[in-house]
Amino acid sequence: MANTQREKLIEAISNPEKTWDIIVVGGGATGLGTALDAASRGYKTLLLEQSDFAKGTSSRSTKLVHGGVRYLAQGNIALVKEALYERGLLLKNAPHLVKNEAFIIPVYNWWKSAFYTAGLKIYDLLAGKLSFGPSRRISKEEVAERLPGINLKGLYGGVLYHDGQFDDARLAINLAQTCLEQGGTVLNYVRVTGLLKKGGKISGVVARDIETNKVYQLLGKVVINATGVFVDDLLQLDEPGKKPLVRPSQGIHIVVDSSFMPCADALMIPETDDGRVLFIVPWHGKLLIGTTDTPLNEHSLEPVALEEEIGFVMRTAQKYLTKTLTRRDVRSVFAGLRPLAAPDESSSSTKEISRSHKLIVSESGLVTITGGKWTTYRKMAEDTVDKAIIVSKLPPAKCVTKDIAIHGSEEVRNHDDFLSVYGSDRAAVLKLCAENPEWSKKLHPHFDYIRGEVIWAVRHEMARTVEDVLARRLRALFLDARAAVEMAPVVASLMAKELKRDHSWEEAQVANFNYIAEGYLLMGS
């Protein structure tokens, strides 16, 4: 296992003479994928993330590893084919985090049933050898059996198809670990605040360690801007006044107890009242319901779900559920921002803006990658590093990530086992928990999480704050914000001992976590 100690990693950026081959700014899916690609080709690679890995959009997805049935309906065959191929690679390389999931589309007449069956047959064909299983038409009775809790009123039947489902933030952490194992350096809580230039060309970055406020000047042959919805901030540093490249589009999810639809299958609603799709997906023992597509003019690391979006998701889901859904049933609500590549003409509808990625090289040599989706992060990374090699005239090396097993990679027999997300680390996590009787205790009566996982997250997964643990190592904040708030004091105390922090750190951590968690709690009845 690679050394994840912060002191060691900070040491790696402390030599001002050192020139990195590739510096990646941003530790979401895109940046981590790019850093892993670069490191595994043998380049001296550094990745800097201003907050925690996947703190931005990459922890706030619908958790689908998918070709995108919706894009098929839009006729975007090339995009779907590419994503289906990447879906297959992800299942191969991270089977501990990605699983095959059956999705059911409810249909209300023969014609729709035939339409979706035909469309999904094309989806199956496009997946080729990497198919997750054939789609098929199913009867109303089978829908009722597979999706207990679904409203059967007016239902004709269903169409079943297969896609992938995953844990986004945990994949991000595992990508960071894999990158370290491939010889790269990755650091969270180091923010890039400036760009170094020589003769008009980018020659590195200025970065600040958020924990110590220490500033570093880091030399790099090429700098990659993989900052998601923040790409324009870096582009502005490079070229003040440049036209924005990204248009943020907010998507929210609510999380409710699985009692609303106690089953293993997911529900896909293909046409909501405003022409979008909505998913109800089982995830870590709860149901994840979303999403929306709301154009915004601003971006933030903690976007907040709008009341209209919450209302839309609840109203739409309720039509398909028999049990009454109230605000009190919502365990958590979270919002994420899609870094969609903005169209040339201004458009008010983000549904129409391209979901495929955009790779641009500025006159200064800054390489910017944006758009795309989690599923295609590897391909985006490959394209980005290929481009960076040309821009910086690095000695060429071929991409090898198709065959790199991601940290923890191991076939999992039971994805319902809460420790299955650790994959090949599972035994080591249990061994650590056994070292101290306190560490085998549960963190919360409603969750399986055990205290030793907090220690593991600090020692091996670069967790620095209570929020890092409760939001992205364990997914408690996303699953049940109230329960997460209740877990925070114990997590802070365990972390304080491990990180040798005092009581005031512990108190500040809990206060900060409670403040963030407020955005995930839904008030009212």
Look-up of token digits 């370290």? 180
Cβ-closest position to ligand FAD: 28
- What lies within 8 Å, CB to CB, of 285 at 6+ separation is 258, 416, 479
96 binds ligand FAD (CB under 6 A): no
26 binds ligand FAD (CB under 6 A): yes
192 binds ligand FAD (CB under 6 A): yes
Give the nearest distance from C-beta 486 to ligand FAD in angstroms: 27
339 binds ligand FAD (CB under 6 A): yes
Q: Which is nearer to ligand FAD, 31 or 204 (CB)?
A: 31
DSSP string, 448-501: --BTHHHHHHHHHS---SHHIIIIIIS-HHHH-HHHHHHHHHHHHHHHHHHHT-
Q: Which is nearer to ligand FAD, 66 or 407 (CB)?
A: 66
Peptide bond into 272 cis (omega under 30): no
277 binds ligand FAD (CB under 6 A): no
CA 332 to centroid of chain Cα atoms: 17
62 binds ligand FAD (CB under 6 A): yes
Residue 521 backbone phi and psi in degrees, to 5? -95, 140
Which of 48, 160, 399, 522 is in the footprint of ligand FAD by CB under 6 A? 48
Q: Which is nearer to ligand FAD, 123 or 447 (CB)?
A: 123
Count the helix, strand and coil residues of the chain and give each as a percent rounded to the nearest 5: 40, 25, 35
221 binds ligand FAD (CB under 6 A): no
Which of 61, 174, 368, 392 is in the footprint of ligand FAD by CB under 6 A? 61
Distance CA 225, CA 447 (A): 38
Q: Which is nearer to ligand FAD, 96 or 451 (CB)?
A: 96
Q: Bridge partners of 336?
A: 251
Q: Which is nearer to ligand FAD, 359 or 433 (CB)?
A: 359
Q: Is 335 within 8 Å of 305 (Cβ atoms)?
A: yes
Distance CA 509, CA 204 (A): 33
> Angle CA(30)–CA(459)–CA(456) in degrees, nearest 5?
90
Give the nearest distance from C-beta 293 to ligand FAD in angstroms: 8
Look-up of token digits 């190592």? 473
Q: Which is nearer to ligand FAD, 338 or 451 (CB)?
A: 338
Q: What burial letters (b/e) apply to 475-509, b meaning 16+ CB within 10 Å? A: bbbbbbbebbbbbbbbbbbbbbeeeeeeeeebeeb
31 binds ligand FAD (CB under 6 A): yes
Which of 183, 165, 160, 142 minimizes the C-alpha distance to 47?
Answer: 183
Q: Which is nearer to ligand FAD, 207 or 481 (CB)?
A: 207
Q: Which is nearer to ligand FAD, 54 or 450 (CB)?
A: 54
29 binds ligand FAD (CB under 6 A): yes
Which of 394, 403, 463 minimizes the C-alpha distance to 37?
Answer: 403
Q: Which is nearer to ligand FAD, 230 or 520 (CB)?
A: 230
452 binds ligand FAD (CB under 6 A): no
Give the nearest distance from C-beta 113 to ligand FAD in angstroms: 25
204 binds ligand FAD (CB under 6 A): no
Burial of 512 (0-12, 13-18, 19+ CB in 10 A): middle
Q: Rounded to the nearest 10 degrees, what angle do helices 452-460 and 481-499 cross at?
A: 60
Q: Residue 440 gets which letter from DSSP?
A: G
Give the nearest distance from C-beta 447 to ligand FAD in angstroms: 23
Residue 418 backbone phi and psi in degrees, to 5? -65, -20
Span interacting with ligand FAD, options 74-82, 325-333, 368-376, 384-392, rule CB under 6 A = 368-376
Distance CA 326, CA 518 (A): 18
- What lies within 8 Å, CB to CB, of 434 at 6+ separation is 440, 452
Binding residue count for ligand FAD, defined by CB under 6 A: 39
Give the nearest distance from C-beta 517 to ligand FAD in angstroms: 19
Per-residue x/- track, 225-264, ligand FAD (CB under 6 A): -xxxxx--------------------x-------------
Which of 40, 45, 51, 294 is in the footprint of ligand FAD by CB under 6 A? 51
291 binds ligand FAD (CB under 6 A): yes
Q: In the window 295-314, what residues touch ligand FAD (CB under 6 A)? A: 301
Span interacting with ligand FAD, options 43-51, 69-77, 463-471, 477-485, rule CB under 6 A = 43-51
Residue 137 backbone phi and psi in degrees, to 5? -75, 140
132 binds ligand FAD (CB under 6 A): no
Sites of contact with ligand FAD (CB under 6 A) = 25-31, 48-51, 55-58, 60-64, 66, 191-192, 226-230, 251, 291, 301, 336-339, 372-375
